[in-house]
Structure 1
């Protein structure tokens, strides 16, 4: 990703329709001059890590650091650097510990979008810088996406280009209903009609097809699977170094590819090499490793995702993955707990409903399990055990048998 190397008021990001961000030098709140080096290093580490986020335009250090030591108006900084968002922070020493704060501000409105505080020992300042940088980046990625969606909603341009349509599709995908997913796909089809080689829209369309597939919101169709896989393959060809394109394509390949699913794990691996701080990529990759029987690897990925972004607005996906891990371990009380946690955030999440039904049967609560199956059938009226097992990848045979038997007890038709 290219960076701006001069402090000019030209917003180069607007030419490529990317959200743009500047990281200001962190303020040294204290009299220790050595802390100044740490504060500067902290900002540089965050800039470096942010450049790994695909779809984000990051202003270079030598442009944002012209504000070092100055009291600034964030909106003025936004105008002067031509950015939509500014990250600022501070470092304070207390004995042998450092306290680092960071906050993300909308440079147009001045609204605070995110803030957090981190503490650590002075023993290894470089490890502390790394840890704070990865946490900040993991939290900023979804925060910026939601902020861009909201900004687009408020602006509502009369004529939509491909980037506008991708944002609109993202907003609809976040609603996570059958109708919103179908509408998101229509937006993405329009985006690709305007710009046929737009890899992010291709990957997002493949991802939407996969979500509709595992939710049961689209009738089984070989043509749909083929189209999702075509979009995923082409998106990867066009944007082989775009981490988000790769994990979206990976999820589509895993759900739609039949015998070719090992390719999905390769794509997840490449995505995480490019951006190891993506909580979403870690969550989905960890989920798949667990389903494949690689519990240790999968749990490490999920634990890292949770550690990086404990307040992720889509943490219901992680809770669902943890519920599946508990089923593999035959710890059904914990499976039910994680599934219920996911459903508090998203009651339409079929993965969590299926886990909860299985867990309740195993815990000797078949009546409650039958109620959950009724919720499943409200989401997918034609759902059957055989149809579910044919559609959802479940490489571990023991897990497939557990689901089949328990869902049958819970009243799901064969």
Structure 2
């Protein structure tokens, strides 16, 4: 049973929602897990060990943390009909839920407007093939996409059985906010896979892409297409959710509201946007200290403020980012975003080797996580290994070619190629950065270095002049390289000096 009713409440375990008289009641992540465990065993004692494992999986915490969360739940639920508490303490054992619990049919309309972790349904891909019996290929791709999406922690995925049971029926039966549809066309040794991400509330297409592949190892094809589809749609989901948070907010904001609004400001990639985002993430951390996502985004925006040159105090911002990212990993060690946050903060705090280890942890948790590959490339570059940085940066950009932050990653890739004497490739990457942000001092400086290295002195001088025209505090992307890698610093400084001599 996914919806459980008690008193004036309905708890929807599939979405992690608690409704009181049909209206949402904000509950933090730990509270959702604890309440779900207690409601699934009404009238029975649930041990402290079981509850700790439920709320803090894989993490050793003190029992006092459990006491704090139970106290918060009791305060949130208020008194039962008989004036007592919904959750009773069982001495020396744990806790039990004392109210009557029953199944509930809660119409999906009652949660359409809620700002909660979104639910996505991956519907079985269709297939058109010249050969009979190829349905397994489309089903395998669908399975792999569901598995890959499930690795992300900030949204929920409809389980395989529910999605496959519907097939051609209406997706609104699943109650999902987003639906991924797809088709496979198979002809000889060629595969064409098309996929579309739909907002089920209005049928709008949020994303669509087509992939052409050569049929080789079936399992390799399934892995590749799943990785590429998932890496592409996850940022689109983030952008959609952050836009919704801005448009639909009317009342008191929960920590999740604050995080999503912060995401919207963050993706503007401006000084004002990053600072507004940081304030919202700080408020989210205060509103719900146990929300891992709030801390990971605070770490990420702190690193961004330093990297773009928007910091008034690099040391203080780095310290705040490191504290937030460390907290995020402690709260949810299975969240790749938490490890990414820790990795990028470490890179700009002078600990590139630590950043590489954190990046590898993020990739192990989710191989489709583009940011994990990108920050691994950054860490390797900052650690003096430009050659190994290239593959990671290229792979991350292939997985996620449309991120608003990609100007920074193209700049880092260009420097890695430049310092590896791949001069033509470096100039190509620099021009991609220029196309994304046509007026940006760090890109002009990079183009100056690339053209000078290619012996194009006149072009290099023109780029140096443009860099001087927009000279300002923006852009500390490669500051860690120049601070810690003397050989790289010497090469960059010599190219700039020659161009301006």
TM range (shorter): 0.7 to 0.9
Q: Give deviations 1:207-264, integer Å, cap 9, x for gaps.
A: 21111112221123433322222112111111211001111221011102x3x43211
1:41 — aligned with what? 140
**Residues 391 and 130 (structure 1 numbering): CA distance in 2 closer, same or farther, change over 3 Å?**
closer
1:184 — aligned with what? 277
**Residues 351 and 12 (structure 1 numbering): CA distance in 2 closer, same or farther, change over 3 Å?**
farther
Q: Retained in 2: the 8 A contact 1:105–1:114? A: yes
**Residues 234 and 310 (structure 1 numbering): CA distance in 2 closer, same or farther, change over 3 Å?**
closer
Q: Using structure 1 for the length normalisation, give the TM-score.
A: 0.85
Determine helix, strand or coil for the equivalent of 2:217. Answer: helix
Compute the displacement of 1:13 (Å). 2.7
Compute the displacement of 1:178 (Å). 1.2
Instruction: Please list, as runs of the form range in 1=range in 2, the aligned pairs for 1:264-413 lying within 5 A after superposition.
Output: 264-332=355-423, 334-347=425-438, 351-362=442-453, 363-365=456-458, 367-380=461-474, 394-407=483-496
Q: Following the alignment from structure 2 to structure 1, what is the Cα–Cα distance between the partners of residues 143 and 200? A: 20
Q: Following the alignment from structure 1 to structure 2, what is the Cα–Cα distance between the partners of residues 360 and 94? A: 45
Q: Using structure 2 for the length normalisation, give the TM-score.
A: 0.71
Is residue 343 of structure 2 the alignment partner of residue 250 of structure 1? yes
Compute the displacement of 1:135 (Å). 0.9
Unaligned regions of 5+ residues in structure 1, if any?
A: none
**Residues 209 and 312 (structure 1 numbering): CA distance in 2 closer, same or farther, change over 3 Å?**
closer
RMSD of Structure 2 on Structure 1 (CA): 2.9
Q: Retained in 1: the 8 A contact 2:411–2:443? A: yes
1:64 — aligned with what? 163
Q: Following the alignment from structure 1 to structure 2, what is the Cα–Cα distance between the partners of residues 155 and 189? A: 21
1:52 — aligned with what? 151
Determine helix, strand or coil for the equivalent of 1:13. Answer: coil
Determine helix, strand or coil for the equivalent of 2:117. Answer: coil
**Residues 214 and 100 (structure 1 numbering): CA distance in 2 closer, same or farther, change over 3 Å?**
closer
Q: Give deviations 1:67-108, integer Å, cap 9, x for gaps.
A: 12x3x44xxx23x21211001112233234333222111111
Structure ranking higher in helix proportion:
1
1:12 — aligned with what? 14
Is residue 120 of structure 2 the alignment partner of residue 21 of structure 1? yes
> For the pair shown, which has the larger CA radius of gyration, 1 or 2?
2
Compute the displacement of 1:396 (Å). 2.6
- Name whichever of 279-288 and 52-61 sits farther off: 279-288
**Residues 348 and 212 (structure 1 numbering): CA distance in 2 closer, same or farther, change over 3 Å?**
farther
Q: Which one has more relative contact order, counting CA pairs under 8 Å at least 6 apart?
A: 1
Compute the displacement of 1:195 (Å). 0.9
Size of the aligned set, in residue pairs, is 393
**Residues 403 and 42 (structure 1 numbering): CA distance in 2 closer, same or farther, change over 3 Å?**
same
Determine helix, strand or coil for the equivalent of 1:176. Answer: coil
Compute the displacement of 1:404 (Å). 3.1
Q: Give deviations 1:364-386, integer Å, cap 9, x for gaps.
A: 23532332332552344xx9xxx
Q: Retained in 2: the 8 A contact 1:319–1:341? A: yes
2:32 — aligned with what? none
Compute the displacement of 1:177 (Å). 1.2
